[in-house]
Structure 1
Amino acid sequence: MQKHDLSYVRAELAAAEPAPAGVTGLGAWVRKNLFATPFDSALTLLGLLVVAFVIPPFINWAFISAQWTGTDRTFCSTIAQGGIQPDGWSGACWAFVNAKFSQFMFGRYPAEEHWRLILTVIMLVVLLVPMMIPRIPRKGLNAILLFGVFPIVAYILMSGGWFGLPHVETPLWGGLLVTLVLSFVGITVSLPLGIVLALGRRSKMPVVKMICVIFIEAVRGIPLVTVLFMASVMFPLFLPAGMTFDKLLRALIGVALFASAYMAEVVRGGLQAIPKGQYEGADSLGLSYWQKTGLIVLPQALKLVIPGIVNTFIGLFKDTSLVYIIGMFDLLGVVRLNFSDASWASPQTPISGLVFAGFVFWLFCFGMSRYSIYMERRLDTGHKR
């Protein structure tokens, strides 16, 4: 038998070769994402033209020509308008934002009591950040502190009247404080209530299903402005003489109920996306309805509708500005209210205040959006390629 020379067989794996220069690096990314086709190239060039047309003037207005300090309108007005700026000047009036920053954040809350609000925010951050990081343990205890203990402590700190703290009436609350309070309560209440409504709408009990359907369709059929108006103006008319509720509390209930109706439909979409085999598998294991729902169906449904849930949260956060119509002043409301201050009346004051408010809203909404993308990717274990 002929013997074969096996000396050419490798004793170890060959070292990995680097990728071709044409498929890696910045140049390859640009070709793939910006100039892959003639249509993509045209869109890229059009986008660059729009950026070149919009960004440089905005940078000049917001940073280069902006007025950063000042004590009144003269710092943000031209000489012809009674100010110190040269004729033809056009820049942001960040001096107005700096002078009114405290009001934008806390409304008319007494300045000597701002420490209570700052302490509340610190507590919220300390409890919220560990809740959002999956690697940190003891989520159960964290949830109890955040959603059970923190609201009580926060109410005592902000409202006062306990432990020697001066009482601060809610009509004095305003600015970003009201926006965050409405958003936190609305988000915290709307998600569990929306889950209950979604389960009720899919219930086989006719009475429960009918009640949930009527509530969801009735609330979704009217705008939030109407809900707030009813809660603030019409609801007190049906109360017994001498009985009343705090306006902020009425707004909180209205916002939470309104958001829960939309949340119910988002969750119901996730429940309907669960394959029938999951229900049958749970039934074959002898699980009760609540065990099947809580352990198998609901976790999968919520994972599927994370984008819809966060989209509802973002919409709720922005819709808090509608409380302006019932005499409450959130961030946008306080900004608009200060436009009437004669000491800061100038052509650049309104746009500067609105840009600041828009930036704050964008900052929070963008943060929620990015976190939802992170959680969606982390939980998307069943669909990875």
Structure 2
Amino acid sequence: MQEHDTSWVRTEMALAQPAPASVRGMGAWVRTNLIGSVGDAILTIIGIALVVMILPQVINWAFINAQWTGPDRSVCATVAQGGIQADGWSGACWAFVNAKFGQFMFGTYPIEERWRPILVAVLFVALLVPMLIPRVPRKGLNAILLFLVLPIVSFVLLVGGMFGLPHVETSRWGGLLVTLSLSFVGIAVSLPLGVVLALGRRSKMPIVKMLCIIFIETVRGIPLITVLFFVSVMLPLFLPAGVTFDKYLRALIGVSLFAAAYMAEVIRGGLQAIPKGQYEGADSLGLGYWQKMGLIVLPQALKLVIPGIVNTFIGMFKDTSLVIIISMFDLLGIVKQNFSDANWATPQTARSGLIFAAFVFWLFCFGMSRYSMYTERRLDTGHKR
């Protein structure tokens, strides 16, 4: 037999080599993202020019010439170098934010009782952080504490009237307390309710399907401000005599139902994106309807629509500002309400207050967006048909 030459065959595994210098490091990132083409280079130059023109003025207004403390609006009319400028853009009036910070956070919640919402915030962070970290064990217990136990404890602490705690009416709540509480309850309620509505809309039972379609299309066809007006003004007219609901509870119901309708359509899109073979495979294993949905279909569907779910959460978080229509003051509402304070009524205070509110909203929304991107990358296992 003729012998074959095998000298060219590698007998040992090749050692891993670093990536070429041309595709790694800061220089490679700049070439790829900033000057990869003539158009990219032109846009990069324009962007740098805009930053050079705008950033020094922003730093000067927000930090160098800003007034950080003071008893009233008079401090905000004086530039750091002295004198008064007619255009009102001498510097930020953070003294206004500093003086009203307590109201921006808690509304008119009694000062001596503000330890209660602070304790609720601490408990919320203590339960939320382990829930967001994948490596922390006992997610089931964590979820029960966060979504079932914490709302009850929060209600007892915030409302009071039991266990020796003075009663605080929800009409005295305001600021970031209202924004976060409405958002948290809306998120906790709208996601499971949206799942149920999405499954109901795809149900083969005509009555269930029709009821879900009517609810979803009706709520999606009207603005949130109308929903809030209805639950605040019109709903009591349909209740029996002597039966009433707290205004804050009405806002919770309105925001939650409104978000659930949009959430249902997002999740329905995920359900329709799942290949038919996944349903057939679950049926071939003899799984029941709820087993099939809970173990096979829904986990895949929810993973596919994470951006849509988070987008709905972000929209709901910002839409809490509309509760001002029912005389409740969230963060933005309480900031605007303080513009009427004669001690602080200047253009500088208005601009500074609005920028502060915008920064707080951006901080929370950006955080949700970044975490959703992290979750997408962690769950990205591919999707093959």
> Please, what TM-score do these two structures have when normalized by structure 1?
0.94
**Correspondence for 2:84:** 87
- Contact residue 194 and residue 260 of structure 1 kept, 8 A: yes
Which amino acid is 2:360 matched to?
V
Write the distance in 1 (CA, Å) between the matches of 2:13 and 2:283: 51
Residue type at the aligned position of 1:130 = P
Partner of 1:350: 350
Mapped pair 1:281 → 2:278? no
Counterpart in the other structure of 2:66: 66
8 Å CA contact 1:75–1:84 kept in 2: the answer is no
Q: Which runs of structure 2 are paired with 1:114-133 in the superposition (5 Å)?
A: 114-133=114-133
Cα distance, 1:139–1:20 mapped onto 2, change above 3 Å:
closer
Amino acid at match of 1:220: R
The answer to whether 1:49 aligns with 2:46 is: no
Aligned to 1:369: 369
Counterpart of 1:369, as a letter, is S
Note closer, same or farther for the CA distance 1:9–1:373 as it changes in structure 2 (3 Å cut): closer
Post-superposition Cα deviations, 1:113-170, rounded to whole Å, max 9, x if no partner, equal 0111111111111111111111111111111111111111100000000100000000
Cα distance in 2 for partners of 1:257, 1:163 equals 32
Q: Residues 157 and 165 of structure 1 are in contact (CA less than 8 Å); yes or no, is this contact kept in structure 2?
A: yes
Match of 1:3 in 2: none
Q: Is the 8 A contact 1:77 1:347 kept in 2?
A: no
Deviation at 1:91, TM superposition (A): 0.4
Aligned to 1:221: 221
CA distance in 2, matches of 1:173, 1:16: 61
1:245 and 2:261 matched: no
CA contact (8 A) 1:77 1:85 kept: no
| Equivalence for 1:105 | 105
2:3 aligns with: none
Change (3 A) 1:70 1:201: same
Deviations 1:231-278 (A, max 9, x none): 111111222333221000000000000000000000000000000000
How far the C-alpha of 1:366 sits from its partner, in A, is 0.6
Residue-pair matches, total? 381
Higher mean alpha-carbon deviation, 263-272 vs 342-351, is at: 342-351
Aligned to 2:359: 359
Tell me if structure 2 keeps the 8 A contact 1:76–1:85.
no
Change (3 A) 1:323 1:285: same
Deviations 1:288-316 (A, max 9, x none): 11111111001100010001000000000
Give me the TM-score of the superposition, normalised by structure 2.
Answer: 0.94
Residue type of the partner of 2:34? L
- Shift in Å, 1:52: 2.1
Query: Equivalents in 2 of 1:41, 1:51: separation in Å?
Result: 15
SS of alignment partner, residue 343 of structure 2: helix
Equivalent residues of 1:76, 1:84 under 8 A apart: no
Paired amino acid for 1:285: L
Runs of 5+ consecutive residues of structure 2 not aligned to the other structure:
1-5
Look up the equivalent residue of 2:37 and give its one-letter code. T
Q: Which amino acid aligns with 1:87?
A: I
Shift of 1:12: 6.1
Q: Corresponding residue for 1:233?
A: 233
**What residue number does 1:29 align with?**
29
Name the CA distance, whole Å, in 1 between partners of 2:15 and 2:205. Answer: 66
Distance 2:223 2:192 in 1: 22
1:53, CA displacement in angstroms?
A: 2.6
| 2:310 corresponds to | 310
